[in-house]
Amino acid sequence: MDNFKKPEMLKYFMSGYFNQSVSWSDLEGLATDFKEREPKSMVKQLISELKMLQDVLQKGDKETWREIEKYVNEYSMRYLDFEDGPEFINTVLKAIQ
């Protein structure tokens, strides 16, 4: 993850909204809550970070993804596998854009 900033807003979203206490089936609603409750600047930052994650996935960069996964897990106690990344990103982007 030396090429870019750590995704701070993703960390915030994962720890405050989509942590281990909620189900994957709640993700879209939680993303909608985030959009409605948080300042537009935070929503824009999360969108930007999710697009950065899309780039990592599209490049097939599993090494960088493992670093992102460790970073996210440290704060949310949730794992975001490389295989689950597209579903997560697409669901959140759909809800907040």
- 1-45: pLDDT as tens digits: 455 578 999 999 999 999 889 999 999 999 999 999 999 999 999
Predicted pLDDT at 30: 97
Query: How would residue 46 be classed by pLDDT, with cut points 50, 70 and 90?
Result: very high
Predicted pLDDT at 1: 47
Predicted pLDDT at 3: 55
Give the ranges where 1-97 is alpha helix by DSSP (H).
8-16, 27-37, 40-59, 62-76, 85-96
**Is residue 15 included in any domain, yes or no?**
yes
Contact 67, 1 (CB under 8 A): yes
Q: What is the pLDDT of residues 52-95, one digit of tens each?
A: 999 999 999 999 999 998 988 888 888 888 999 999 999 999 99
Full-prediction pTM beyond 0.75? Answer: yes
Structural domains counted in the chain: 1
Range of the domain at 47: 8-96
**Is residue 25 included in any domain, yes or no?**
yes
**Is residue 1 included in any domain, yes or no?**
no
Q: How many angstroms from the chain centroid is the CA of residue 58?
A: 15
